[in-house]
A and B are shown apart, each in its own frame.
Chain A
């Protein structure tokens, strides 16, 4: 064994131990190890089975579900739950799981992989399976745009990997072109599907390969659906594993996979269903029997709190966690609101987009289908946070009635207004980065 490999492992383990002592998980240990040995990843002895997951949304959820399934089936799983999904984080968790000789002790390596950084990580280590769930307009201030992300993910793909792709997302599915052996998952036609595109922009309008117009038989949401190029013939691939139905039995929600496995779920949001389907597909392809995968998923309770219920004064409310700079996630939250037929109000909080400073980029607000909130059942629309002026103009041009809209620079003033003036159910739509600004002012309730 090379001395620098040994030193890198030693330093990484010591720094990691120290960081844990002071209660901090970070990617710092991996950073040191990479300084000492830049190709440390190729020096580690890895297990045969490794799965990486990437995409704009749902990476963490899918990875946690796969980990749960594999563990429930007796496998020892190493995965980067410490958060960092860039190369330093990957090194940190792999060395953390290895012996001093560099042998990773787990049976499976499971990797949540940043869509921009997988090209760096995979230079030294090729996962056996690479799951790509979706590519949306997401954090374009750093990601550029989906086609740029597609090109950098393309640099992370090697011939010895098996791709596991969402067949309903044209940009994702295009990775499978000329790659026999690719595995596809997708949703069959569902009762909630639409014949025509709904939304402000349509990233599925033109073929990702030849740029000719595409036609859709149906849309599940945004540009996700059954597509076909009118020119080059690129089309939705038949699936190896499918979401076949979403149903409610005696007040409980279930999704059905491959026509026979009913999986109880806490909520049936369509992209949550895709995360489950991605986890199911990856686990089955990795060798777990389908019925065992379904059984494990049935016992799994999604931990990430996308929904938080609360009371504010006499009001009951629900926070729908979305992502700033990601119009698809906002569109899905808006669907939840408009599908609830009660009289209700909606608060949109956009207070901090960048953690560092007030950025000028509010362009993504114009990609969100706020027009859908022009519904009689909506009582008030409360716009809050530093970006309230941008929101005010966006809602004015969305056609929101001016007597319905209230605007507050401070989230606390918005909350006060709601507590004193509203008698309807209150939905709050905001991002991880802003959620505490409202959750710190309300009383949390158990989810009902």
Chain B
């Protein structure tokens, strides 16, 4: 059985080892017995179709690229929203998460329109970076997530965000993070989010199995679990 991963802007939004997420999910789906096909679409493509996608991923980029990607992706908004409403699982990490909201105010006071799925809008500056390790908590399940944030802006409202920020080690001003709707997860964490958070990776695998009508098998990924546990403990123990 074939699973299609739509990988958005792999060469344009690939700043922080984001390829890890697609590679890890691909491996996990293969372990479930799927054949995985990765469809790459980027800034020079004239069409992005969400129609056949079983999973959608987009990573981080430098802000100037991210702004162009936001405008480009906006051209295919109707297909994107349709897939979202249909329940296609999607993961947006790092500053691709920003464009799921109303938009981004750039340091030169320009405004980049977002997809409008969530209420927040980001305001960015160019004087410094907000960077740091963070621990997030999903209060509905009790799960803790770990990762690194590396961004230029802050959201104006956090009311429709899903996870509480338990701890920040760094200068990132944030109290809540991650936007969820249907099977879409947008999260500020950069890089190999699915490696550091096997629970999130597993949840996507389960959804895809269910949607493809294949029985989900529980498979252990001990390195991923150890990496998460070790990071969580170290961040918990670390002084801010």
Contacts and interface: CB of A to CB of B under 8 A. Distances in A.
A pairs with B: yes
Interface of A: 137, 140-148, 151, 200-202, 205-206, 211, 213, 356-367, 386, 389-390, 392-394, 396-397
The 6 closest A-B pairs by CB, nearest first: A363-B191, A366-B17, A358-B234, A363-B17, A144-B129, A361-B148
Interface string B127-161: 00101011000000000001110101000000000
B214 interface: no
Contacts of A360: 133-134, 146-148, 196, 231, 235
A158 B196 CA distance: 44
Interface in B16-73: 16-20, 23-24, 27, 43-44, 62-65, 68
B230 A386 contact: yes
Nearest to A144: B129
B195 A393 contact: yes
Interface string B204-234: 0000000000000000010110110011001
B56 to A, nearest CB: 19
11 contacts: A142-B131, A146-B62, A147-B63, A361-B150, A363-B192, A366-B17, A366-B23, A389-B227, A390-B195, A390-B227, A393-B223
Contacts of A359: 133, 148
Nearest to A137: B15
B90 interface: no
Contact of A393 (B16, B64, B224, B238): B224
Given A202-B11, A361-B148, A389-B224, A141 B131 contact: yes
A397 B221 CA distance: 13
Contacts of B234: 357-358
Nearest to B221: A393
A358 B192 CA distance: 16
A215 to B, nearest CB: 13
A144 B131 contact: yes
A201 B42 CA distance: 14
Contact of B126 (A151, A206, A393): A151
Contacts of B223: 389-390, 392-393, 396
Interface of B: 11-12, 14-20, 23-24, 27, 43-44, 62-65, 68, 126, 129, 131, 133-134, 146-148, 150, 152, 169, 190-192, 195-196, 221, 223-224, 226-227, 230-231, 234-235, 238
A117 B221 CA distance: 42
Contacts of B196: 360, 362
A70 B15 CA distance: 40
Given A148-B62, A360-B133, A389-B223, A366 B27 contact: no
Nearest to B67: A211
Contacts of A137: 15
Greatest chain B CB density within 10 A among A151, A206, A365 is at A206
A358 B23 CA distance: 24
Given A147-B63, A211-B65, A397-B23, 14 more contacts: A141-B148, A205-B11, A205-B12, A206-B43, A213-B44, A356-B238, A358-B230, A359-B148, A362-B192, A362-B227, A363-B190, A366-B17, A366-B23, A397-B20
A284 B11 CA distance: 39
Contacts of B27: 396-397
A8 B64 CA distance: 43
Contacts of A206: 11-12, 43, 65
Interface centre among B15, B134, B235, B238 (most CB of A within 10 A): B15
A361 B227 contact: no
A389 B131 contact: no
Given A200-B19, A397-B23, A145 B146 contact: no
Contact of B238 (A146, A357, A362): A357
A409 to B, nearest CB: 9
A148 B129 contact: yes
Given A148-B129, A360-B196, A363-B191, A140 B68 contact: no
B97 to A, nearest CB: 15
Nearest to B229: A389
Given A141-B148, A386-B230, A393-B227, A211 B17 contact: no
Contact of A364 (B17, B129, B133, B230): B17
Nearest to B227: A389
A212 B196 CA distance: 34
Nearest to A368: B17
B225 to A, nearest CB: 9
B202 to A, nearest CB: 15
A362 to B, nearest CB: 7
A367 B224 CA distance: 18
A1 B64 CA distance: 47
A397 B129 contact: no
A202 B62 CA distance: 13
B15 to A, nearest CB: 6
Contacts of B227: 362, 389-390, 393
